[in-house]
Amino acid sequence: MGVTFSQLFPPEATLTEANLPSQHGKVFLITGGASGIGHELANILYHAGGKVYIAARSESNALQSIEKIKKTPLSPPSSSTPGELHYLHLTLEDLSTIKSTVQVFHAKEQKLHVLFNNAGVSLPPPGSVSKQNHELQLAVNCLGPYLLTQLLLPSLQAGVRASHDKPAAVRVVWTSSQMVDLGAIKGGLNPATLDNPGTDQQKNYTVTKVGNWFLASQLDRALRHLGILSVSQNPGNLKTNILRHAPAYYSRIFGPLFYKAKMGAYTELWAGLSQDLTIEAGGGYILPWGRLHPAPRKDLLDALKSVEEGGTGQAEAFTDWCEKQVAPFK
């Protein structure tokens, strides 16, 4: 109960635009960067001197976001010279388009320091599916980000070399939800249901948020030896358009518990840049507004472990399923 309460009423953020060091020379990619948390995060990183790629479906929305960021002074003001903002077309619900997105990025950049898998969808109409006929939330929240991350690995490895092989200087940040604590079934998810999910969109959404943690953990296993940090985070309960499909009563009931999107940007900022996070935190779960989860559910920790390690192997099974779905598009 204490952890749940602290996610609803988090302590003050410890890393904000007020004390963020200069990010000159660093390259960031934010999915869903044209609105909400992504927009606020791009604003902070740009004013700190970073080169920021806003990856989104709508070019017009992204360009409006970029223009707004450039025209709006940061408060409190940053001591750094502003960096750069660029649009990158990305359609996560169509796996066949993601490789071309990465090719465009590779043509412009050799390295990437932090990938923020920030974009997501929640509670679309029942029956909503992706271009490849996957349940829409599963496609946008898990399959698309997984494929994007896999294709960007050369850029992340180049980022490690550019950072003089400093551990945890290069990071992948996945976006989860408090529903992992509150709504996940025992063990997190049932891989046997992934091909034929039910019509309960809340349950389907929760599966994807557990899946994000599973993918973060499995990526940590694969990349920790390279010095790349992979973590998952719950950005917080926020006023963003991710709930645009939710019933009207959601806002009436839960609205008083929602915070401004900028607070969620602080969570992601801490996950992506805090010096308090070391490579040993890889696979970990971060809470609002930037701190490691002190007591994750035991059944979920067991799911992160392989059968050989005494766990259930659910995270490995989920990642294997994702790999099978995206393999034809690599």
Known active-site residue 186:
no
Looking at 46, 53, 87, 205, which residue is catalytic?
205
Please name the amino acid found at residue 67: E
94: CB partners within 8 A, 6+ apart? 130, 131, 132
Q: What is the pLDDT of residue 95?
A: 98
232: CB partners within 8 A, 6+ apart? 173, 174, 175, 176, 212, 213, 215, 216, 217, 284, 285, 286
Task: State the angle between helix axes of 153-162 and 98-108 in degrees (0 to 180), rounded to the nearest 10.
Answer: 30
Known active-site residue 99:
no
Q: What is the pLDDT of residue 234?
A: 97
* pLDDT by 10s per residue, the chain, length 330: 567 767 878 899 999 999 999 999 999 999 999 999 999 999 999 999 999 999 999 999 999 999 999 998 777 777 779 999 999 999 999 999 999 999 999 999 999 999 999 999 999 999 999 999 999 999 999 999 999 999 999 999 999 999 999 999 999 999 999 999 999 999 999 988 899 999 999 999 999 999 999 999 999 999 999 999 999 999 998 876 655 555 555 555 555 567 799 999 999 999 999 999 999 999 999 999 999 999 999 999 999 999 999 999 999 999 999 999 999 999
Distance from the first to the final alpha carbon of the chain: 43
Distance (Å, rounded) from C-alpha 130 to C-alpha 114? 27
Q: What is the pLDDT of residue 9?
A: 81
Please report how many Cα atoms fall inside a 13 Å half-sphere around the Cα of residue 289, on the Cβ side.
19
154: CB partners within 8 A, 6+ apart? 106
Beta bridge partners of 226: none
Looking at 26, 51, 209, 262, which residue is catalytic?
209
